[in-house]
């Protein structure tokens, strides 16, 4: 019985020591997933611009980012955009729970939490196209091949030669990105309760680089406009 109790005690202590490590691993796996998804989408958008000799944009919404062909005025149907992304605000008991968000240094610190959800934005556009009043149903107007004007949405654009244009905002100096602990970058990926922050540097040559930087404290969770019960900034 004594030996069994000792073994159980060792297991309990080991589990207590491992819990923070497991939690940190799962957190980093999520933020790395967003980092990898952004890098993949960025490269696909640039490749399309070069191969199709067309201007192609990376458009940002509350849930993430989509590839948009400027010539066709259409979003790519086969991209990885997910309206239920972990970057969105997840509803839980008592209100909203922010998981991961983007902070746009090239837009003076605007966050993805302040952007419109894709479906809300699309509904507004469809009502404009159909001449409908606010609140009227738009399901009959929704088409995969629908053309949209994205001039009101944050985006960066690849030219036909693969170079990058900041269609909105201004490029953040790469000198800031190169600091041991940058204060900002063109895009910053943050996660609640995770001190590791991913800084993304977009270059006008059409290249990007990113770096995960551990910091002493996790970032503050910004408030989410228009969401009742959402956590205020801490």
User: pLDDT digit string (tens) for 20-43?
Assistant: 454 444 457 889 989 999 999 999
Q: Dihedral of CA 32/33/34/37: which sign? A: positive
Predicted local confidence at residue 177, as pLDDT: 95
Residue 222 lies in a domain: no
Residue 208 lies in a domain: yes
| Percent with pLDDT over 90 in the chain | 55
Question: Does pLDDT of 86 surpass 70?
Answer: no
Residue 92 makes CB contacts below 8 A (sequence gap 6+) with none
User: pLDDT digit string (tens) for 92-146?
Assistant: 444 456 789 999 999 999 999 999 999 899 999 999 888 888 878 888 888 878 8
Domain interval for residue 16: 2-214
Q: Dihedral of CA 170/174/175/181: which sign? A: positive
> Which DSSP symbol is given to 168?
S
Which uninterrupted H or E stretch holds 34? Answer: helix 2-52
User: pLDDT digit string (tens) for 54-76?
Assistant: 999 999 999 889 999 999 999 98
How sure is the predictor about 87, in pLDDT bands with cuts at 50, 70 and 90?
Answer: low
Question: Does pLDDT of 181 surpass 50?
Answer: yes
The helix/strand/coil state of 157 is strand
Residue 227 lies in a domain: no
Predicted local confidence at residue 28, as pLDDT: 77
How many domains does the chain contain in total? 1
Residue 123 lies in a domain: yes
Predicted local confidence at residue 96, as pLDDT: 56
Predicted local confidence at residue 138, as pLDDT: 87
- The sheet with strand 208-214 has its strands ordered as 110-111, 100-104, 187-191, 196-202, 208-214
Predicted local confidence at residue 89, as pLDDT: 56
Predicted local confidence at residue 149, as pLDDT: 94
Residue 93 lies in a domain: yes
Q: Dihedral of CA 30/33/39/44: which sign? A: negative
Residue 31 lies in a domain: yes
How high does pLDDT run on average in the chain?
84
């Amino acid at each position: 019985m004594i030996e069994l109790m000792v073994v159980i005690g060792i297991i309990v202590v080991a589990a207590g020591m491992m819990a923070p490590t497991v939690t940190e691993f799962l957190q980093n796996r999520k933020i790395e997933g967003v980092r990898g998804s952004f890098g993949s989408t960025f490269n696909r958008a640039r490749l399309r611009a070069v191969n199709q000799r067309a201007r192609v944009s990376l458009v940002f919404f509350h849930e993430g980012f989509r590839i948009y062909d400027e010539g066709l005025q259409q979003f790519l149907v086969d991209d990885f955009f997910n309206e239920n992304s972990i970057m969105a605000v997840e509803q839980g008991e008592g209100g909203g729970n922010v998981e991961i968000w983007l902070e746009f240094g090239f837009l003076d610190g605007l966050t993805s939490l302040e952007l419109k959800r894709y479906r809300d934005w699309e509904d507004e556009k469809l009502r404009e196209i159909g001449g409908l009043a606010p609140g009227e149903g738009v399901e009959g107007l929704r088409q995969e091949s629908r053309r949209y004007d994205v001039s009101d949405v944050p985006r960066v654009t690849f030219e036909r030669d693969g170079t990058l244009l900041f269609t909105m905002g201004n490029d953040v100096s790469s000198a800031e990105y190169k600091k041991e602990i940058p204060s900002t970058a063109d895009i910053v990926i943050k996660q609640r309760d995770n001190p590791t922050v991913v800084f993304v540097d977009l270059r006008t040559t059409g290249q990007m680089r990113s770096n995960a930087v551990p910091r002493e404290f996790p970032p503050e969770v910004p408030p989410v406009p228009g969401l009742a019960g959402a956590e205020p900034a801490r």
